[in-house]
A = this chain, B = another copy of it.
Amino acid sequence: MEPVEAGQKPLVLEESADHDVRMDGIATSIRPKRVGIKEVASLAGVSWKTVSNVVNDRPHVRPAMREKVLAAIAELGYRPNLAGRQLRQGSSMTIVLAIPEITSPYFGKLAEHVITSAESRGYTVLIEAYGEDPTREGRVLEGYQNRLIDGIIYSAQNVSPEAVKARQDPTPMVLLGERILDSGLPHVAINNNRSARELVSHLASRGRTRLAFLGDRPDVGESVAGLRLEGFQEGLLENELTFDQHLVMGVQRYSRDEGEMAALRLLNSGVPFDSVVCASDILSVGVLRAFRRRGIRVPQDVSIVGWDDIPEAEFGAPSLTSISPDIAALAEASLEQLLTVMDGRKLENVEMEIGYTLKVRESSF
């Protein structure tokens, strides 16, 4: 293994340094050595220590010196080597955002916001789209010990509360969306119960009486879907509507396909209904397609409402009524919580609630 390494690595350097190689017979093998603090120092004509002081904003550096050093830094394009810095300081300024998938519009948007928020604080975000691979989701709880990260924002999906509570890893962690009771981990989410009741009230105010709930996750304990289903039932009570267990449809996953399949099951069951509450808009998209194929008109025959307010909800035909969480606030708050824990500061609230708005669109007019 070693001779291979020794034989190949230089090739890279030589190749990419082609333009720098002088053919004048003397300085042939000038390889573009990474500029370090010493190169900066010698160009600026100061000691490396002064450069370090400038870079780290330490006292006792005169403006003139600082200028000189900054100029040298700019000229050489010097950036402190993260590995060296990490090794010295023990922090990598990197956090992980663990989500089920990046492809879903909701998580994609969330990731985008977390990344920009983190960046403005000097942090880099590593995205772990763990999908349905239990190994990968397990690694989230183990804290990526081989990856040099400072904290984790974890949007759990299929993990058991026990696994979270049994977590050994000391890496600071914040839960997003999913709440794991008694885990002691900070948690950021919208109020699932209240938003579910609002959706039900909205439908009731439109004269709907037979409401279906699509997107339960019966296998998953304490899931977001569970909280929403609870709120759904409470909402029915509040509006003096009856709850029918036959109108609750579970799914394996939140995807368009699963939504379509669940809608077909619902139709085939023969139990009458006049509206569908989907635990996520991505399910609604599939439901719409199923209805369209069966000739069921939305919203004339059936209303559809959901959560997440994904772009498709706005642009689809019909457009979808949805609970629109303030994703930017969600990202900001979870990052804030995480940084608080990472700094060892005291959290003001372990539970944090994020605002949302109900966007009424064509699908429930």
Contact = CB atoms under 8 A, between A and B. Distances in A.
Interface string A122-147: 00101101000000000000100111
A256 interface: yes
**Can you tell how many copies of this chain the complex includes?**
2
B315 A317 contact: no
Given A145-B77, A317-B288, A317-B317, A58 B2 contact: yes
A79 B168 CA distance: 15
A276 B355 CA distance: 40
Contacts of A60: none
Interface centre among A13, A145, A342, A343 (most CB of B within 10 A): A145
Contact of A345 (B8, B102, B145, B288): B8
Nearest to A119: B136
Interface stretch (A83-91, A227-235, A264-272): A83-91
A110 to B, nearest CB: 10
Nearest to A133: B116
B124 A12 contact: no
A84 B82 CA distance: 11
A9 interface: yes
Contact of A82 (B56, B103, B146): B146
A246 interface: no
A16 interface: yes
A10 interface: yes
A77 to B, nearest CB: 6
Interface residues of A, number: 67
A87 B79 contact: no
Contacts of A15: 344
Nearest to A106: B103
Given A108-B108, A170-B12, A341-B12, A148 B82 contact: yes
Interface string A263-285: 00000000000000000000001
Contact of A315 (B9, B80, B115, B285): B285
A109 B170 CA distance: 32
Interface in A66-103: 77-84, 86-87, 90, 92, 101-103
B289 A315 contact: yes
A108 B102 contact: yes
27 contacts: A1-B56, A2-B58, A8-B343, A8-B344, A9-B90, A10-B344, A11-B343, A12-B344, A14-B344, A15-B344, A16-B172, A17-B170, A34-B145, A77-B142, A82-B148, A83-B92, A84-B87, A102-B112, A103-B105, A103-B108, A126-B126, A256-B314, A256-B315, A286-B315, A288-B315, A289-B315, A312-B312
